[in-house]
Amino acid sequence: MVNLLDNDSDTPLVTLESEPITDLPTEREPTYLDVFKNRDFMKLLSGQFFSNFGDAIFRIAIQLYVYEVTLSITAMTLILAAQTVPWIIIGPIAGVFADRISRKAIMIGADIIRGAAILILPFLNSIYGIAIIAFILGAASATFTAPRSAAIPEITGLRLYVKAISLSQLVFQTLAVVGPLFAAPIYILLGSSTFWITSGCFFVSGIIIFLTTIPSASRDKKEVITFKVVLRDLKEGFGYLIKHPTVRMLLFLFTFLIIGTTFAGPLLLPYLFEVKHNAISIQFFNTPLSLTQIYDPTFISGLKDISDREFGFLGAIIALGSVMGNLVFGRFEKKIGRPLALTLGSLAISMFYFVFLFKPGFYILLAVGLVQGFLNGMFSLAINALFAENVPNEVRGRAYSATNAYIQVFSVLGLSLSGLTADSIGIVVTMAGAGIFLLSTTIIIIIFTKFYKFASKPSNPILEA
């Protein structure tokens, strides 16, 4: 549910005077039209379109596929964890290389690996084989994200960054709306062959990136990349997160948000199938289910198809809310303010899972999901802007990847325990418990940070000139 850093000292380590000349004069507020005129960013955005479309289908298909093969919540969450582990192990190292070699080459290579790995999935029905492919996909995604996140502020300039990321999030969330709507029907029709669509999208993305000019980090001198250099750069990347007060505060916030959302998020599909649809079926027949109905493959398959479709609709409505939130915040950022966006977004994420305590109906879930998506859209955009403005280009790849690695440690922890906890105490109790945990910690953090007023402080005087 949370999107940090475009699926980063009150004073920066280096000055930002080297920012590209694409920054606009300060006497005029930048517009979306200014972003459209940036050809390289628009190419990158078109590549993102194909990548995100395949990704949106894949996110739904992999959960449906694993749940279909194993019928186990634990197995499904462990596969998600396997895809997350590389962000911890490989992500920080990828950030080092993103600050030292061609960011463009790294991104193309990662797209090729993702496209090839996904082609293998339709031929696997072993949970271990799926886990290996999930790990490879996670490694490639972690390698791709660091250079992309680091390059965007250089392509657009910081004054256009919020508008540019708003458009990037618009593409991502729009396809996240369309993807789930198509994913479940496509998967029902094609089965595991659905993964071929995602594979093709990654290959197209790689071709477009090849045709795009993507700047790399500027350095005064070239160094041979040795083990010692990698360790030193890793230390600098993680050290930046600790030393910078704004980034440190954001990480503190995300520690709790990631734990809560990774505990509850993967349980949405099992909730619809195992909790809501059993109740709906009983109400539909107006009598308890007979043994014949319970063991009838056609009857169970029908319930599964319904839950798959509703899972897609719920994902789509949340993404639609995020699209609206991104557009509104991108247009009225100064009037809304980042502190308010962070506050409302945190509370909305918390309340979304808290409502599962009352076993809400599907239409109530759609309404709550739309509101949560809207406020989370503003939240994500504010987060991305804060990181970009507080992290200079020379360390951006390392700082971004180190941040993602830190977050993914807690993500793996949540994913690994989510299915086990749901199997032990029940899906509803686990999801509602995560919501209560998030709500409690969010209120404490709001009080501790004085309603996120730290987010309203200018990060660099150049931006306020």
| Segment (H or E) for 453 | none
Please tell me the distance from the alpha carbon of residue 216 to that of residue 96, in angstroms, as a whole number.
12
Q: pTM of the predicted model, to two decimals?
A: 0.64
Helix (H) or strand (E) holding 252: helix 245-264
Residue 193 to residue 267: CA distance in whole angstroms: 24
3-state secondary structure of 116: helix
Per-residue pLDDT of the chain (465 residues; tens, 9 = 90+): 444 444 433 322 333 333 443 444 445 667 778 888 889 999 988 988 888 787 778 877 887 788 777 777 777 777 877 887 887 788 777 777 777 778 888 889 999 999 999 998 888 777 888 889 889 988 888 788 778 877 887 888 767 877 787 788 778 767 766 766 677 788 878 877 888 888 999 999 999 999 998 887 655 456 666 777 777 777 777 777 777 777 777 777 778 888 888 888 878 877 887 777 664 444 344 444 444 444 455 555 666 777 777 877 887 788 788 888 888 887 787 888 888 888 888 888 888 888 888 888 888 989 999 999 899 888 888 887 777 777 776 677 777 777 777 777 777 777 777 877 887 888 888 888 888 888 888 888 777 766 566 666 654 433 333
Per DSSP, the three-state class of 17 is coil
Are the C-beta atoms of 135 and 226 separated by less than 8 Å? no
Buried b / exposed e along 155-190 (16+ C-beta atoms within 10 A) = bbbbbbbbbbbbbbbbbbbbbbbbbbbbbbebbeee
Q: Where are the domains of the chain?
A: 32-464
- CATH superfamily membership of 32-464: MFS general substrate transporter like domains (1.20.1250.20)
Strand positions, DSSP E, 357-415: none
Which residue type sits at 71?
A: L
Largest Cα–Cα distance of the chain, in whole Å? 76
For the stretch 197-244, pLDDT in tens is: 889 999 999 999 999 988 876 554 566 667 777 777 777 777 777 777
Q: Provide the 10 A C-beta neighbour count for residue 448.
A: 13
The Cα 145–Cα 150 span in angstroms is: 8
The length of the chain in residues reads: 465
